[in-house]
Structure 1
Amino acid sequence: MILIIYAHPYPHHSHANKRMIEHAATLEGVEIRSLYERYPDFNIDVAAEQEALSRADLIIWQHPMQWYSVPPLFKLWLDKVLSHGWAYGHGGTALRNKSVMWAVTTGGDERHFAIGEHPGFDILAQPLQATALYCGLKWLAPFVVHSTFVCDDETLQATARHYKQHLQSLLEVANG
């Protein structure tokens, strides 16, 4: 089962994520947990989130890039749900050997992320990748969609179809 942890603070303003989620939702074996819909008060039900994670084979962390980072509710989700003794530390093996993929959208193009002495987008993935590895998760190559503010609808639909196909292929690999 693929579990998508979706964190878009303004989903009704979404260009790419909305279409990606709509396409992913048509796949059998995909569960979507929209954090901003579930927890508008930021009061996360940790037990429910951990239970959902325990059912998943593949976890997707999907959100728009905000100030070169994750949306605030997703950061809180990481802090609360990936707890010591459950996700890491003594006895914290609940996520071990599951896979995780970062699905992120950005308004800027790829060149926008070539900043200073550390060019490339991969540097921005390092905190999430380190978190995943620390919890025993297998880090998969991110699914990145750049330039979402200037994409036309046809391009966004094609991207969403590609995302769905990518998830489908990950499901097929997981099912052997």
Structure 2
Amino acid sequence: MSNVLIISGHPDLQQSTANRTILDELKKALPNAEIRDLGALYPNYQFDIEAEQAALLKADVIVWQFPIHWYHLPAILQKWLSDVFTFGFAYGTATQLAGKKLILSCTTGGAEEAYQHGGAQNYTIEELSNGHKQTANLCGLEFGGIVHSGSMLYIPNFNSEDDLKAVQTKAVKHAERVMALIK
């Protein structure tokens, strides 16, 4: 099995049933994978650049696990990307990440059907991910695909227990699809 690094870009993972369940399932399936919860490690968004770059260098497969915020990465994951994927490390004079695989694993509160032409969001997840694909291209990363699951919003004391079970079930299936891309 390849060295797998999973970057959790949820700013507060304890508040996310979907992302937390996905990560728990990936942890069970990949006990040797390194999971870096950015929200827990860096609540002030001040990253240890050397530690983050070292983790990336050890990895063969990199998974970004995140909820889509305003059609993009959550702020903590965007800042991590800006701070860690530096010139001379990730692109430019050196592309030290070249040849590694990047997989996007994302969730939305909105339904999957909303992410299509004519749908409520008017664009597909693939189209909204073009910037991430270009980031992979610039850095010499192999783009390994996108796993997206919609309707992944559960709000305690608002949604029902059936809603919770539905999100958890979808999250388990989501993790299985991520595993298929990793292997």
Normalised by the size of structure 1, how large is the TM-score?
A: 0.88
Task: Return the letter of the residue paired with 1:34.
Answer: D
State the SS of the aligned residue for 2:145.
coil
Q: Hey, what's the Cα distance between the residues in 2 that align with 1:142 and 1:152? A: 24
Q: Which residue of 1 aligns with 2:83?
A: 80
Q: Hey, what's the Cα distance between the residues in 2 that align with 1:75 and 1:119? A: 21
Q: Which residue of 1 aligns with 2:39?
A: 36
Tell me by how many angstroms 1:169 deviates: 4.0
Q: Hey, what's the Cα distance between the residues in 2 that align with 1:112 and 1:167? A: 22
Determine which of 119, 124, 130 is the counterpart of 2:128.
124
Tell me by how many angstroms 1:73 deviates: 1.1
Q: Hey, what's the Cα distance between the residues in 2 that align with 1:71 and 1:162? A: 23
Root-mean-square deviation (Å)? 2.1
Tell me by how many angstroms 1:108 deviates: 0.5
Q: Hey, what's the Cα distance between the residues in 2 that align with 1:165 and 1:105? A: 14
Normalised by the size of structure 2, how large is the TM-score?
A: 0.84
State the SS of the aligned residue for 1:41.
coil
- Residues 34-73 of structure 1 mapped to structure 2, 5 A cutoff: 34-73=37-76
Distance 1:165 1:119, change over 3 A: closer
Q: Hey, what's the Cα distance between the residues in 1 that align with 2:169 and 2:125? A: 22
Deviations 1:50-98 (A, max 9, x none): 00001101000111011111111111111111110111111x2210000
Task: Return the letter of the residue paired with 1:74.
Answer: L
Tell me by how many angstroms 1:2 deviates: 0.9
State the SS of the aligned residue for 1:144.
strand
- In the alignment, structure 1 segments of 5+ residues that lack a partner are none
Q: Which residue of 2 aligns with 1:8?
A: 10
Q: Hey, what's the Cα distance between the residues in 2 that align with 1:21 and 1:50? A: 21
Q: Hey, what's the Cα distance between the residues in 2 that align with 1:82 and 1:152? A: 38
- Residues 157-172 of structure 1 mapped to structure 2, 5 A cutoff: 157-171=168-182
Q: Hey, what's the Cα distance between the residues in 1 that align with 2:153 and 2:167? A: 10
Tell me by how many angstroms 1:167 deviates: 4.6
State the SS of the aligned residue for 1:36.
helix
Q: Which residue of 2 aligns with 1:89?
A: 92
Distance 1:38 1:156, change over 3 A: same
- In the alignment, structure 2 segments of 5+ residues that lack a partner are 155-161
Distance 1:84 1:30, change over 3 A: same
Aligned residues: 171
- Residues 112-151 of structure 1 mapped to structure 2, 5 A cutoff: 112-114=114-116, 119-149=123-153
Identity %: 33
Task: Return the letter of the residue paired with 1:141.
Answer: G
